[in-house]
Structure 1
Amino acid sequence: MQGLKRAGLCLGLLLAGLAAAQGSPSPLNVTLTQDLIRSVTQNGKLVEERVAAPSAVLPGAVLLEEVTVQNVSAKALSGVKISVPVPKGARYSGAVTPSGDQWETQFSALCGGKALEFAKAPLSCTELVNGKNVTRDIKPNEYTQVRWLISSVAPGEKLKLSFRVVVN
């Protein structure tokens, strides 16, 4: 199977309140990498090995989607939103860079064919089933996007945010 490919611009970036929205050069340098994570035995212990940018992956492979965000401006930035879609042909595995004091992690999914608003996990959905509204929990493997709400990024600061997916 070929490596997962992303159509068009794979990284959906929302830069709230930044000069980028006004046509100025972006104060953020944002990159996305996709690496294979595999388990190997070293010195009798099972450890994870990271293979950078694999050219091909098989069903069941675990991939790390890692976003690096760096403030390249001279000012602190606040209210930064970074959104990344779960790649087509893969499902979110439930492993994400945990929220901390500096950012909150949110997710989106489809409910009745429509995208839900971003929210903290766990997500739930109300759908019409046999004429009745039924609320159900959305499983993490149904999440379609991951978003980080970053309270502030200092000048020169670099953040690494990531989540894992499993290839279908």
Structure 2
Amino acid sequence: MNTPTRTARLTLMAALTGAALLPAATAQGTQTSPLTLKAATLVVTQETRDGKKVEVLTDASKKQVIPGTVLSLTQTFKNVSTGALSGIALNMKVDPATTFQQASCTVGGVTTQYTTDGKTFAAAPLMKTVTVTENGKSVQKKVEVKPSEYTGVRWNIARLNAGQEGTCAIRATVK
């Protein structure tokens, strides 16, 4: 099907060790996905070069990862079809052995959402209801969820043109 815009409701799941791409299915069977995906886990360090601090990203398999290590978990994707794709959802879980810091994406027109339960996603800041005691009475209050409580991120990519690629990533600290 070569239409100017193809709807691809693809959900990509990622964790520290890898990711999976769910291919589109047809009446004739399973076809190759119109989207490629490459996952990487990188250790983030700072170095001074020529008197300036620079960020250095190193493959995590080549560095010792200990508590306090900052990781960049990336998903690089590319539309390998001949038409535009729309409605792409890229999901990334925050590994329980890490604490979420921030999310980023290099593609324009992306809506970033977060979750604490892995089921419901919403734009930041997330809110939760807590019960507190005030003047001897139990009272429910809505409070902002700290980013360190996020368990996953979803990037909703409105449109990805043929041949277009991008990278979405989270920063997390090893517990």
Give the TM-score taking structure 1 as reference length. Answer: 0.79
CA, structure 1 residues 11+134, in 2 after alignment: closer, same or farther (shift >3 Å)? Answer: farther
Residues in 2 aligned to 1:21 and 1:92: alpha-carbon distance in whole angstroms: 34
Q: Which runs of 4+ in 1 moved over 6 A?
A: none
Q: Distance in 1 between matches of 2:79 and 2:148?
A: 32
Partner of 1:52: 59
Structure 1 portions without partners, runs of 5+ = none
Q: Deviations over 1:124-161 (max 9, x none)?
A: 11245676543221000110001100001111111111
Residue by residue over 1:97-142, the C-alpha shift from the partner in whole angstroms, topping out at 9 and shown as x without a partner, is: 15874211111014xxxx4511111111124567654322100011
Q: Which residue of 1 aligns with 2:120?
A: 117
One-letter amino acid of the counterpart of residue 78, structure 1:
S
Pick aligned residue for 2:172 from 143, 147, 165: 165
In structure 2, what is the equivalent of residue 73 of structure 1? 81
Q: Residue 7 of structure 2 corresponds to which residue in structure 1? A: none
Give the alignment partner of residue 141 of structure 2, picking from 94, 109, 134: 134
Q: Deviations over 1:11-31 (max 9, x none)?
A: 366x7xxx7154332111012
Once residues 85 and 21 of structure 1 are traced to their aligned partners in structure 2, the CA distance between those partners, rounded to angstroms, is 25
In the alignment, the residues of structure 1 paired with residue 42 and residue 120 of structure 2 have an alpha-carbon distance, to the nearest angstrom, of: 28
In 2, distance between residues paired with 1:27 and 1:99? 19
Name 2:12's counterpart in structure 1.
none
The match for 2:156 among 144, 149, 156 is 149
- The residue that corresponds to 1:106 in the other structure is 113
For 1:12 and 1:141, the matched residues in 2 are separated by 25
Name the TM-score, length of structure 2 as normaliser. Answer: 0.76
Equivalent position SS for 1:88: coil
Contact 2:85 2:161 in 1 (8 A): yes
- Tell me the residue number matched to 1:91: 99
Rounded Cα–Cα distance in structure 2 between residues aligned with 1:39 and 1:74? 40
For the residue of structure 1 that corresponds to 2:124, the secondary structure is coil
Relative distance call for 1:11 and 1:135 in structure 2 (3 A) is farther
2:38 to 31, 42, 51: 31
